[in-house]
Amino acid sequence: MGNYYSDLGPDFKKRTVKLDSIPAYQYNEALADEYKNKKISKEEVSELYESMLVIREFEEMILKCRTGAYEVISDYEYRGPTHLSIGQEATAAGACGMLNITDYITSTHRGHGDSIAKGFHAIRRMTEAELKTRCPELSHLAGEDLREAVMEDHIYRTIAELFGKEEGYGKGRGGGMHIADFRVGHLGANAIVGGGIPIATGAAMSCRIDEELKGRVVCCFAGDGAYANGVVLESLNWSAQEQFTGEIARTKYGLPVIYCIVNNHFGMTGRADGEVNGVDYLARRAAGFANNNMHAEVVNGMDVMAVREAITRAKKLCQDGKGPVLLELDTYRYYGHSLSDPRNEYRTREEEARWKEVDPVTVFRKRVLDAKILSDKELTALEERVAARNARAARKAADSPDPAPEDVIKYMYTETSCDVVPAQFQNPPTFAEVPRAKRDADGRTTYRDAIKEGICEEMLRDKRVVLYGEDVADYGNAFKLTKGMLEAFGRDRVFNTPISEACICGTGVGMSMTGYRPVVELMYMDFALMASDQISNQAAKWHYMTGASTTVPMVVRCSVGGGKGYGGQHSQSLESMFAHIPGTYVAYPSNPYDAKGLIKTAIRNNNPVVFVEGQLLYNAKGVVPEEDYTIPFGEANIIREGSDITFVVWGPAVEDAIKAADMLAEEGVSVEIIDPRTLVPFDWETVFESVKKTGRCIAISQCVDVGSFTGEIVAQVTANCFDYLDAPVLKVGAKNGIAPQAHTLEEVFLPKPADMVKAAKSLM
């Protein structure tokens, strides 16, 4: 721990806390000397220059497309976002040039260059067999002809994605701001500023604990604007946790992640320097998160050799278990935030001219010539080849097919699940007795223990299942649901987190994309609003935006505390909000049997699942088999059959609905009770068949009535069962207000059996 802490008690002795210095612009080597000393070969010099050229050619094509000046496709009308990175080529080429095919990157909305560079250098390193596997249609080629054809395919698929084409990297679903290529470790560009940084952090968590991923690093590109963002700072704090490397760590290995701040000095139009920052160098941020400053360094981002050298050292630190590393790459973008931004309102031509004097492409070309590594003729031939390749790829992309309109929501969900665990993840080690649910003589256990047993069984089944959240380790979570799991499975698989809900969920996305199956916990569902970007914009969307190139098999456990007097920020039933987000599944068990079966299904499913747990149900008992079983999503449970009216109800409201049905039965009214168990997917057929039989329907939940999913049930039943209805479809929910703390107010805030009875009688 820090030097202010002692096991014997506090130590308030007067002292000064000293911070380490941060090196800046340390690289000052001549290219000729590097070449002479065999630190770089002619082939590597050529590769670096070509990499920057490919990016520059691509970006200038976008610029010309807007005005029709790119002659080869002057007949094509390009529409979509245009965030150019001209001027920043050295950051992408210098970094990706030192990464292996299997190393990972995440990028930003201005990420074309990073994507091109990652693919470019990966293709340069592929064997002939790997090239043919990547592009089987090119298997008739060999040698450099094959490599060149695969490279052109890379540029083609990049342009096709930019153009929204079916043959783009994401089948046109994500576009340029969300481009990804998982085959070479590119986990996606992100249109949410800073949104990819927790994903990169999660990917590094996978690399930290997985023996097959050991040695890989994650290179995370994000602009200077991102480093004022909350989830970004949460990620830096997360990555530097002492529990990864300190005394309590089972695997003493820091996160192998390199945070590359691509500091082009502008967020959008706001200037980082002297305007929205309070520090002279963003690398200073690292001092707030790690005693070693995260090995922070400021690097000349206009010099591809300086970037290359810094990444080489950073990668070595990560592979030695000494990560994370933070590098500030000082660079510049020559154009505005987008092509609609003329940039002359917030910067001068003189400023741009000074930066163009150190242009990464032209300066490197001159250095190559001065060092006599490549001749002008060789460089010109390379430049012509890059331009011709891009032109062919652009023409092909413009002519390629658009996605079919009938496929507009194709890839929203995957229909897959983990039915068979790969051999290397079976039979994971345990370090103490695995907790089992306590059952009474009738085989009953609690809702809490049923969920716990389901998670433990899945962790025993599959090593990739990990559990983390606030206070889930030694303490066993706020409701003691995870007690004993740390001891059984070890701190690599069960661990506490900072109070960082966005980062809890964002790292889960990164782990999911890199092969793991995280179960992340949010102590109260109210806190999901802190994490809503990572759930709704990240977890929910990546399968679709990549054209099914990836899956996000993660479970977000959220407990709902309504009815306990905890007030407006700890009591909200928010499942309707996430049912409104395409790409997520939403499950809400109402009893112990369903709780175990549904949590196991959720963990095995390859879609992100928001798993809602009612705190009022934690002590409820029911018969739960000890053997393995799952409950399919989208299959409702008919709790009670009836003939006069249908109740569609979920969560803790189910018990109240049963009481209401008993009260109505005394008056001769027969109620059919349907618990959908999952709101997404929803079992509409069971509900429709019931309503066609009873002629009446009430949708019931503990959600605030306005905007609740109960309204969707009303709409669908009315539309699909109109000819069978004998009365309007009603809904019963919580009052349209904020959950109160006072007992007398809370008693009338949530729906009660009497409210359900009253609504039913109004229909009879």
Catalytic residues: 501, 570
Helices 42-65, 304-319: crossing angle, 10 deg rounding: 110
Please check whether residue 301 is in contact with residue 330, taking contact to mean a CB–CB distance below 8 angstroms.
Answer: yes
Distance of CA 436 to the CA centre of its chain: 32
Q: Tokens 């782990």 appear where?
A: 511
Which residues, at least 6 apart from 92, have a Cβ–Cβ distance to it below 8 Å? 51, 55, 85, 113, 114, 116, 117, 221
- Expressed in angstroms, the distance from the first to the final Cα of the chain is 68
How many CA atoms within 13 Å lie on the side-chain side of 359? Answer: 14
Which residues, at least 6 apart from 164, have a Cβ–Cβ distance to it below 8 Å? 80, 172, 175, 402, 403
Query: Can the peptide bond before residue 198 be classed as cis, meaning omega within 30 degrees of 0?
Result: no
Q: Does residue 717 sit in helix, strand or coil?
A: helix
Q: Does residue 429 sit in helix, strand or coil?
A: coil
Could you tell me the two tokens for 127? 């064997």
244: amino acid identity, one letter: F
Three-state secondary structure string covering 79-97 = CCCCCCCCCCHHHHHHHHC
Q: What gap in Å lies between CA 464 and CA 199, rounded to an integer?
A: 17
Give 443's DSSP letter: S
Could you tell me the two tokens for 37? 């000393």
Name beta bridge partners: 522.
558
Q: What gap in Å lies between CA 24 and CA 190, rounded to an integer?
A: 28
Please check whether residue 456 is in contact with residue 485, taking contact to mean a CB–CB distance below 8 angstroms.
Answer: yes
Q: CA torsion sign, 244 to 245 to 248 to 250?
A: positive
Which H or E run includes 260? strand 257-263
Q: What gap in Å lies between CA 230 and CA 503, rounded to an integer?
A: 9
Please check whether residue 411 is in contact with residue 83, taking contact to mean a CB–CB distance below 8 angstroms.
Answer: no
Q: Which of 686, 703, 584 is nearest to 651 (CA)?
A: 703
Distance of CA 554 to the CA centre of its chain: 10
Number of Cβ within 10 Å of residue 404's Cβ equals 9
Could you tell me the two tokens for 579? 């049912």
Which residues, at least 6 apart from 171, have a Cβ–Cβ distance to it below 8 Å? 403, 411, 547, 548
600: amino acid identity, one letter: K
Name beta bridge partners: 173.
none
Could you tell me the two tokens for 398? 């413009």
Number of Cβ within 10 Å of residue 619's Cβ equals 11
Where are the strands (E) in 588-717, listed by range?
Answer: 609-614, 621-623, 637-640, 645-649, 671-675, 678-680, 697-704
Number of Cβ within 10 Å of residue 348's Cβ equals 10
Distance of CA 657 to the CA centre of its chain: 37
Could you tell me the two tokens for 727? 């009365």
Q: What gap in Å lies between CA 448 and CA 450, rounded to an integer?
A: 5
738: amino acid identity, one letter: I
Could you tell me the two tokens for 483? 């007690």
Q: What gap in Å lies between CA 763 and CA 698, rounded to an integer?
A: 9
What's the count of helices (H) and strands (E) in the chain, helices before strands?
24, 20
Burial class (CB in 10 A: 0-12, 13-18, 19+), 137: exposed
